[in-house]
Amino acid sequence: MTTDLSQYDVNRLPGADVLGRQRYAIVVADWNSEITYAMAQGAIDTFLKHGVEDENIDIIHVPGTVELTYGAARVMKEERVDAVVVIGCVIQGETPHFDYVCQSVTQGVATLNVQGKVPVIFSVLTVLNRQQALDRCGGKLGNKGVEGAYTAIRMANL
């Protein structure tokens, strides 16, 4: 079983002739920006690598992970996009705040997906410590932003 989709099968993606016409949005949380910005860059690089035009990639910054759902909903309402990738990082602390944030964003993204307008891809790290996050934003476990872009392309082209 593969747990690192950063090494994906390029043959499962449509060509640049299709992707060059598509629009994608990345909604990225500014909280834990060292992590989330690296993931967002991975997503941007992946979209560009496969022929999505630079002007067809919108980056929307929100303060934190809880705000990702609103940001995605707003993009879906105001713009024509083929998929939205939400990128955040929640690191467990000493209070139950971690649980509330994770539950909120998970439920919010699930609700947006059930609406069926466009796929909303969950690229939110929910980790126990900073090292686990670093391992997943370009470290030994790949870049979950790359995986989010790959998944967005696949889902937009079902």
For 9-61, what is each residue's pLDDT tens digit? 888 888 888 888 999 999 999 999 999 999 999 999 999 999 999 999 999 99
Contacts of 104 by beta carbon, 8 Å cutoff, 6+ apart: 66, 69
Give the catalytic positions in this structure: 97
Owning domain of residue 85: 21-130
Which of 116, 111, 106 has the alpha carbon at shortest distance from 156?
Answer: 116
Number of domains in the chain: 1
Q: What is the mean pLDDT of the segment spanning 132-158?
A: 96
Q: What is the CATH classification number for the domain harbouring 89?
A: 3.40.50.960
In this prediction the pTM is: 0.93
Check residue 4 and give its pLDDT.
Answer: 66
Check residue 157 and give its pLDDT.
Answer: 95
